[in-house]
Amino acid sequence: MMWSAPGRLTSTLHLPAFNDSITVFGKGKSKPIRSRLHCSPSRAMETNDDTSKAKASSFDDFLCKKPYSPPSWASHLKPIPSHVFSLAHLPTPIHKWNLPNLPQNTEVWLKRDDLSGMQLSGNKVRKLEFLLAEAVAQGADCIITIGGIQSNHCRSTAVAAKYLNLDSHLILRTSKLLVDKDPGLTGNLLVERFVGAHIHLISKEEYGKIGSVALTNVLKEQLLKQGRRPYVIPVGGSNSLGTW
């Protein structure tokens, strides 16, 4: 049983929508919402002059499409992506962590990808810079992805899609007892619904039977029939392109 986007989905199953942004996937129609949110980046913490300069440059490039050049150690891999979108505030700093009782001559340093941009869920945005560049290059007008009910990847996808003026469709896995209920505004759901994501709920049992690939393909085919141009991002954005 799955909740489907308002006015976006038709299938053999039918169930009334609970509100304007969520329905049960494959179970009916509701009035579509086409909200638009204009987001402005906020400055992240800066640690030194070099990082400050890099950060300033990253803000200047924010939401820009730019050519991609791989690091030398990866230059032999194929195919090399041609472009990325600047969605993250990079480079993120590396901080020393002064833990007690460390072995002699041992230091612990943290790569602070939590400072890449709060709405975009840390390291998740690194994959999306490549994936959404391809989506835009292919002429997509909406993004489909899939994950757990509190998926950080799905949250970051919804926000990044909104930055680029694309609709987002999130297939979220939840418990059988909650699949017919409004999921509320807890945690990542608050952000997703704030940016106008279309949320489709499915039970863990049905998710296990059908699988993520089949579920995203079903939604993709239904959106294509409605004249949309969807781009599918797999679970976690984990594919050959996202790996870059």
Quick check: 94 and 110 in contact, CB under 8 A? yes
Catalytic site positions: 151
d(CA 156, CA 176) in angstroms, rounded, equals 25
Q: What is the pLDDT of residue 63?
A: 87
Residue 112: name the closest of 68, 51, 188 by CA: 51
Better-scored residue on pLDDT, 196 or 3: 196
Residue from 190, 62, 187 nearest 117 by CA = 62
Question: At 22, which helix (H) or strand (E)?
Answer: strand 22-24
Give the mean model confidence (pLDDT) for residues 49-68.
Answer: 69
Asked if residue 170 lies in contact with residue 198, where contact means CB atoms within 8 angstroms, the answer is yes
More confident residue, 214 or 46: 214
pTM assigned to the model = 0.76
Torsion angle, CA of 48/51/56/60, rounded to 10 degrees?
Answer: -170
Query: Could you give the percent of the chain with pLDDT greater than 90?
Result: 65
pLDDT at 56: 54
pLDDT reported for residue 62: 84
* Per-residue pLDDT reduced to its tens digit, 21-47: 565 665 654 433 333 333 333 333 344
Query: Over 80: is that where the pLDDT of 60 sits?
Result: no
Buried b (16+ CB within 10 A) or exposed e, 191-215: bbbebbbbbbbbbeebbeeeebeeb
SS (H, E, C) 164-230: CCCEEEEEEEECCCCCCCCCCCCCHHHHHHHCCCEEEEEEHHHHHHHCHHHHHHHHHHHHHHCCCCE
Supply angle C-alpha 23, 196, 10, rounded to 5.
Answer: 35
Q: What is the pLDDT of residues 115-173, one digit of tens each?
A: 988 677 788 999 999 999 999 999 999 999 999 999 999 999 999 999 999 999 999 99
